[in-house]
Structure formats: C-alpha cells, structure tokens
A and B are shown apart, each in its own frame.
Chain A
Amino acid sequence: MSFSNMFPMYFIQGQQWLGLLPLLCMALTAIATLLLAPLRLQGRATAFAMLLIGSIAAVASTVVFPFSETIIILDGVLVFDRLSQVFSAICVLAGLAAALMSLGFDEREALQTEYFSLIAFAVVGMMAMVSTRNLVFFFVSLELMSLAVYVLVSMHRQSSMASEAGLKYFLLGGAASAVMLYGASILYGTTGSLDVEGIRNAFQSQWGGKLPILPLIGLGLFSVGLLFKIGAFPFHVWIPDVYTGAATPVTGFMISAVKAAATGALLRMSIELFALPVAAEPFLITVLSIIIVATLLFGSLVGARQTRLKRIFAYSTIVHTGYVLLGFLALLGGGAGAKDASSAIVSYTVFYVVMNLGAFAVLTLISPKDNDDISLDQLTGLGTRRPLLAFALSVFLLSMAGIPPTAGFFGKYYIFSAALASGYTWITVVAAIASVVSAIIYLRPMIHMYMKESDESYSALPSNWLGSNMIVGLSLFLTVVMGLIPAWFSKLL
C-alpha cells in the first residue's frame, strides 16, 4: 500500500461539512486564541470569551444540524456518528468548565492567553480521537491532546510539584505512546492495514477469528496507550502524583475530559476493532478481568488511606476506571449484556464527568491561595462555614459512592446489570465489594465536613468566584435530576 493509497486526494462535500463543523469550530478557536499573544491582544477575558464562543458553536452545531447516518470522511480517517458526537460534546463542555474555573482560580497566577489555547488544542485532539478509525490519525490526535495536557500540568508555576508532575506525566505518557505505536505497527505488519475496518476484515479473512499470537500482541500493546490514559491498574502509577501537582482546574480537566475522551476512544475501538471475532478470545478476557479486579481493589484500598483531597480524587478515579472497564468486559465478552454495555458506558461517563467537575469546582472554591493541595483537615467544619458548598460536595461524593437517588448510583447499576447479563457474576461481586470499601474514600471528607469541630484557622474564605459557583450549581442540578429521571439520559447512544 503506497502513500497515495493511504491518503488519496479527497474533496469534502455536502453533508460531510456538517459532521466536520464542530471539529473546525474548536480548531479555529484554538488557533485564534493562540494568535492573541503575538498580536499583543493580551487579556484572559478575551481568550476565555473566544473559547466560550468556539465551544458553544461546536456544541450548538451538533444540535442545530443533527444527522442521522454515519458520515465518513477520507475512508474512515474521520467518522462522525452518535458516539463521536456525544463524546465530543462531553469533552468540549468539560474543557469549557475547566477554563471557567481557572479564570477565577488562577487570577494571582497571571494566566497567559496560551492557557486557553492549550485547552482548546487538547479538546481538538480529544474530538479527533473519538472520531477516527485510522490508527495513525488516532495516534496523532492522542498526542495532540497529550502534549497540550503535559504543558497545562507544568503551567502551575507556584507549585514546586508541578514541573515534577509534568515531567513524570510526559515521560510515562511518551513511553505508553511508544508502546501503543509499536502495537499499531505490529497490526499493520500482520494485516497490511492501518484502518480499523481493514484490520478487522483481515482478521476474519486470514484467521477466521481465531487469532495467532502476533496480532494478539499487537492488540494488547495498542490498548496500553489507552489504558494508560484512563488509569487502569498497572498503568495507574502516574495518576496520584500528576493530579496533585497540577493546578486544581487542570486536574478537573484531566479527570473529566481526558478520561472521557480515552473512554470514548476505547469504546470506538472495542466496538469496531475488538468486537467479533476477537470477542470470545479467552486470553484477552482473562487479562481484562485481572486488570479490572486489580484496579478496583488497588484504587479502593489505597484510596481509603489518603489524607489529601486531590489524592483522594485521584484514587477515586482509579476505582471508577475499574467500573468502566467492567462495562467493557460486558461489551467484549459478547454475552447478553453486550448490547446494553455501550449505552451503560456512555451513561456512566456522562454521570462521572458531571460529578467530578462539580467536585473540582468546589475544590477551587475552598483552596487557599498559596497552596491548593488541601488536606482533609482543611475541610473541617465546612458544613457550618459554607453549608451550601458542603452540601453540594456531599452530593457529589455520594454520587461517586453510588448512593441513590444520585446519578452515580444509576451509572453503577447500568454497568453491574450489563456485566451480570454477560455472565460475569463473580467480577460483579468483587466490584460490589470494592464499592463498599471505596465508600470509605467518600465518607471521610463528609466526616470532616460535618462531624468534627470547626477549626477557626481555616475559616477565611479563599474564593467566591461566580464561575465556579455556577459549575457547582449546574452539576448539582444535573446530578440530582439524572438520579431522579435517569431514563432521559440513558438513550444518549
């Protein structure tokens, strides 16, 4: 296959522009925001306004111009369907929320306009990542997202840990990307295609679904990059340190948007690449099961002992990765639950993003100016100092713990019911036990907020930024509504 075969001349026409529109909006925003500084149009407000307009245009274009059939551009380099729309919208909105939080949070840091440009670039990468079938384009999108996030992490200049976190994330992320690329090259070598459909057809025609060892290794190595981004067990080590070192809004961005994008990409690959005939491959299923159990147990057991809030949320996100992967197990296992599993994963991701953004918005409001790595002790007495904020944080924590009637409960139930339907009873029981242990993670902040005597030394309020308050309010509303009327949100895919 020659280069011209791989990337032939191509004209985009008609409805294809509709599919491309959101991506174009964000890309233009990213470039335009980047140009602000060279043109000496300094001003964070301007940059944020541009990001706001671009994001709204991107989301609105999917709502205003809905399309029913799948739009394929460049033979599957870009694919626009329901899945890419939903995950793109999640990433755009999460990026916007993070930018809004930073605006109030980082006022003392004199944020440059590039900050907003980087967020926009990362979002472009995410949108491309969830809308492609081409492994090379996928890698490029992933790197676009990752490079922007590496810089965002290191930009937290007042923290001594930020550069360490940025470097750690960069080195480990680079290694994971290399492994992923190696996996892609093995797949290309064995099947002669870089396109997901081509690879799947080759699997079927060459081996009839029973894969030999080499393409299996290729698939496994390729998954490593994605498992790294979502923080599954052996690839989770970076999460606590990087989440602690980054500024709180950036951590919020990573925990919501980056996770959602990686989940979306994994979902597309699972549906289109790992789906039949590999589905019943017992080796892959066994490995995935081990990863799930280890992720759940590690996250909940270690998380229960943490005393710093950002670390607590870091381990909480590892536990949630375990639940999402349980949904993937149901999807790939090919049992009766497979057809519900993808919508369970989408619902879970939406619920998860909303409650984490809300929780991080609360964190930006209660972090002192000099050090945003706050400890549980600093939460003490929040229930009397800021009753509404404490109530909101409690709802988010309960939602993460999966207590009804919050969104997180239904997310968990969808996943459990899909996994049971696919026949993975024992892993579901392990997940249930892990959710009891992980309840400790979420109860401890509440114990400090409500059940300990108020400590006057923390009584000064660091921030009352309206933007973060709006995010808290909106997330709270959505968490409760999605818990009470989950049916509205279960048909996203």
Chain B
Amino acid sequence: MSQILSWIVLLPALTGFLILLLPKSWETKSRQIAVFASLIVAVLAIWVSQEFDIKSLEPYQFHVKFDWVPMLGIHYDLALDGMNLPLVVMTSLLTPLAFIGTWNQTGVTGTMQRRIAALVLIMETGALGTFLAQDLFLFYIFWETILLPCYLLIGIYGGAERGKATLQFFLYTFAGSIMMLVGIAWLVHSQAQITGHPDASIQTLMNLKLPFDATAGLGGLLSTQGLLFAAFGAAFFIKAPLFPFHAWLATTYRQAPTLVSIYLAAILSKMGAYGILKILIPLFPEATHAFGPVLMSLAAFGIVYGALLAIVQSDFKTAVAYSSLSHVSYILLGLFSMKAEGMGGSLLQMVNHGISITGLFLVAGFLDKRRGSLALKDFGGWAIQTPVLATAFMVIVLSTVALPGSGGFVGEFAILIAAFRVNGYITAVAATGMVLGAVYMLNLYQKTMFGPFADDYVDKVNDLDFREIATMVVLGLFIVGIGMAPQTFMAPSRAAVEESAKRVSPEDALPTRQSLPGQVSNF
C-alpha cells in the first residue's frame, strides 16, 4: 500500500502495453480494458484524496522515494503535496469519461481501438507522473512521455491536415522541453557545486539561491536565474500555452481526434500551468517577480486575443480551441500575480477548465459524428431534434462563461481580485475577456442549436445515446458540485499554495493568514 502512488502512475501504462500485446481476437475488447483500468486508477486517486491529511504538517504524503541514477542525483520520487491533488483526481476522472464519451468515434476498426486505447493510457501515465513527481528529472521524463503517444495519435488518426499539425506540435513542444532539459542539467550542476553531490529533487533545488541581477541585460534575463527562467519558461509557456507561444495550438487541437483534443486541452495544458506553479515560481522567484508585469500583460492579451479569434471562427472546433487559449490565459494571469488567492484561484480554474473544455470537445465530437462536418454553416436548429444534446451543451456553456454558481465563477473571480491587487490596468483588459467569452460561447450555441435548419440533414440526427448522456451527466455534476462548494475541492491544496505564495512574495501576506513573527524577507 505504500506504493499506491506508483500504482496510480504506472497502472495505465502497464495496461497500455498489455493492450498492445493482446491477441488479435481480443482487439475489440481494448476499450473495455482501458476503461476498466482507468476506472481503477480513478478509484485509487479518489481514495488517496480522501486519505490525504489536510492538517498534517508533513507536506509530502504517500511519499515513495528511491535512488534511480545516483551518479546524477536522480530519484524516483512521487508524493501528494496538496497542490497536485486536485489535478491528479481530475486527470484520473477525465480519462475514463473521455473514453466513454468518445466511444462511438474510436471504434472503426479493432486495430484503431487497440492503438488509441493503449496510447491514451500511456499519456495518462505521463500526465499523472508529471503531477506527482517530486524530482525534477523524473518530472521531465514523465513530461516527455506524453509527447510521443500524442504525436502518433494525431498523426495516425487526425484530420486531413494532420501531417502539418503533428510536425508543428512535435517541434514546438520538443523545442520547449529540450531547453528545460538543459536547464535541469544546469540547475543540478549548480546544486552539486555547492553541496558536493548532485540532487535533482525539487525540494532541494528550491533552496538554491540563484543569482538574479536586474541590470544583466534584457531586464535581467541574461543573469543566471533569468536564463534558467527562460529555459524552463520555454517548456511551460509553449505547453500551456501563453501568448505568443500558441502558434501550434489551433491546428493541433483542430486536427486531433476528439479524445486527443480533450487530452491536449484538459490535461496537457494543465501540465504547463502546473509546471509554472510547482517549479517556475518557487525556483526562480526573483525572475518571476521581475518579469511579472510582462507575463501578466501577455496573459491578459492572450485572454482577449483568444476570445476575439474564437468569435470570428467559422469552425466549431477551432473556436473551441481559441476559447481554450483564452481560458488558459486566465489561469496564467492568476499564477503570475504570485498572490496566494490568485494561485489558489488558478488551481481551481485548472480543474474547472479541465472539466468544461472536456465537455466542449465532447460536444464537438458529438456534432462531428452526427453531421460529418464542423463548419458552423452546416448547423442550426438542432435543439428541436436533439434536446438532450442541447441541454448538456447548455450546461457546459454556462460553466464556460463562468456563470455564478458554476465553478468557473469562483476561480476567475479569485484570479481577477489577485491580479487587481498587482495591476489594475492589466486586470481591466483581462476582465473584458469575461464579456467576450459570453459572446463567443452563446454565438456557438445559437448557430448550432437555434435558428433555421441548415438543410434537411437534421431529420436524420440522433440524440445522445446512453454512454454519451452518462458522460455529460457526470461532467454536469462536477460543474455544479465545484460551483456550490469550491472549498471542499480546494481545501487540501490551500496550505501548499499559501506556503508557496509566502515563499515568493512574503511582503504581501494575506489578511486571512497569520504572518509568522520574525519572518524575514528573502530578498
């Protein structure tokens, strides 16, 4: 039982390899096996989240740690630290839901079922491992594990322009992560010079005082800490993505099969945001402070830019892709505010966005499967023929536009408050995104569900089947649940987030939090 986190992380990939080795006659059972395995993982994840002791002083729980490559100070090191708990639960729950919700789209041939099931499970291992890793190098390994299955899935089962999409996706993300690898090697080396033996655990590296010199050129980017910030930032900003590192996003999301779009938008983008929260800010606090205004401006610009692009799209899935860019930018805005409530809001928003974007891409999948097209001009008036689909879509829309009562409202509100405490002008720009968000979501809803029929095609449309309804009901329950009682979802992460915020900006302690006497600034 002490290895429970290892089971959570490795079970999906092991099942994935098992599925690859199944005999031909079992091929059509791949999806069932995948759903079963991912449900076990979900149950385990929920169990550890219940067992997680909020009041405990031990920051790392269910800790598994042993040496992996001693020469380079690399450990196999997994732990729940509160910050990653909501994301682990989200990932483990969304995976079976995504499988079930896209059931009818992944099943053309047995080979296709087998490959998709296996590769998605390997991606789940990569995501869960990234969230749980407490060793920087292990973090990188799991981070890269995602890349290849994703590349293959889009390349084999993607849309017509998949060749261009995959190459773009692979080169962008690989360029980012190879810079992170160089950064890791550098960090571990600096650490080894001080203590004499290398150690790649994040906790140890956090105590490194890396020199930051604001006069070093490009506002300090050329000092040691600035360069490392850039190296890690490259990986995280591309994956999230932060404007202007988003060029790969629309093509890739558009060309990917629904299941992979869900994974990209709901889970992979959170890996980027989590990297900022877990690694970038704690390891390079001075650099993040120095570039904070620039980064917040980029995030605010990304909110508006993504929303405007989403409004003018004529393709459903591309519009959803840009809406994702806009919403992820909110998360980044909250993180770069470096305030406890902003970072906490961002963490909550990561979960909210994960759920609502899953819903949106599922709806895109439903529409595509029924109509064979995603061009908005081909839709209209579906609310009459498919009332269940229309209702489910409405719930997702309301959650996405952050209606009070949905989880999105709590998260975005906290982010905007935190951002306002840092810079009112940037926040004013960012807040317009909420209005624009309502515009493009309602626009999408109207053009598909209301209005005249695009042609007589609508006569043949079926409503959601049992599996699809079940998926949407579960998503809806989560949306309402988080909206009604966000604290029950966020309580485990509160201590960890506040601890992190205290480290990076000790001078603005929250009034709700007790400042420790004798605490000194580390600047």
Contact = CB atoms under 8 A, between A and B. Distances in A.
Contacts of A414: 72
Interface string A213-245: 000000000000000000000000000000000
Closest 5 CB pairs of A and B: A417-B185, A451-B155, A436-B175, A432-B178, A421-B189
B140 A487 contact: no
A420 interface: yes
A440 B151 CA distance: 13
A66 interface: no
Contact of B181 (A398, A416, A447, A487): A416
B167 A443 contact: yes
B141 A450 contact: no
Contacts of B68: 487
Contact of A416 (B69, B141, B182, B193): B182
Interface string B123-144: 0000000000000000011001
Interface string B458-473: 0000000000000000
Contacts of A16: none
Contacts of A403: 144, 147-148
Contacts of A417: 72, 185, 188-189
A391 B140 CA distance: 23
Contacts of B111: 384
A31 B174 CA distance: 50
Contact of B185 (A404, A413, A440): A413
B162 interface: yes
Contacts, number: 83
A425 interface: yes
A428 interface: yes
A83 B186 CA distance: 28
Nearest to A435: B178
Interface of A: 336-337, 340, 384, 398, 402-405, 409-410, 413-414, 416-417, 420-421, 425, 428-429, 432-433, 435-436, 439-440, 443, 446-447, 450-451, 486-487, 490-491
B182 A432 contact: yes
Contacts of B163: 447, 451
18 contacts: A402-B178, A413-B181, A413-B185, A417-B185, A420-B185, A420-B189, A428-B182, A432-B179, A433-B175, A435-B178, A440-B167, A443-B151, A447-B167, A451-B155, A451-B166, A486-B69, A487-B70, A487-B71
B152 interface: yes
Contacts of B442: none
B170 interface: yes
Contacts of B216: none
A218 to B, nearest CB: 34
Contacts of B373: none
B386 interface: no
A41 B145 CA distance: 54
A190 B21 CA distance: 65
Interface centre among B111, B140, B156, B181, by most chain A C-beta atoms within 10 angstroms, is: B181
A436 to B, nearest CB: 4
Interface centre among A384, A413, A487, by most chain B C-beta atoms within 10 angstroms, is: A413
B389 to A, nearest CB: 32
Given A404-B141, A486-B69, 6 more contacts: A405-B141, A413-B72, A432-B179, A432-B181, A436-B178, A447-B167
Contacts of B155: 446-447, 450-451
Given A416-B185, A451-B155, A487-B71, A336 B171 contact: no
Interface in B144-176: 144-145, 147-148, 151-152, 155-156, 162-163, 166-167, 170-171, 174-175
A404 B111 CA distance: 26
Contacts of A404: 140-141, 144-145
Contacts of B188: 417
A4 B109 CA distance: 79
A463 to B, nearest CB: 24
A436 B171 contact: yes
Given A417-B189, A429-B182, A432-B181, A398 B167 contact: no
Interface centre among A336, A403, A490, A491, by most chain B C-beta atoms within 10 angstroms, is: A403
A50 to B, nearest CB: 39
A420 B70 contact: no
A429 B72 CA distance: 20
Contacts of B151: 443
A409 B174 CA distance: 13
B145 A425 contact: no
Nearest to A336: B193
B174 A439 contact: yes
B278 to A, nearest CB: 19
B140 A425 contact: no
Interface centre among B147, B174, B189, by most chain A C-beta atoms within 10 angstroms, is: B189
Contacts of A451: 155-156, 162-163, 166
A187 to B, nearest CB: 35
A404 B227 CA distance: 24
A439 B181 CA distance: 15
A417 B189 CA distance: 7
A414 B178 CA distance: 14
Contacts of B178: 402, 432-433, 435-436
Nearest to B182: A432
B186 A420 contact: yes
A487 B69 contact: yes
B446 to A, nearest CB: 37
Nearest to B180: A432
A173 to B, nearest CB: 35
B217 to A, nearest CB: 14
A428 B231 CA distance: 12
Interface string B56-83: 0000000000011111100000000000
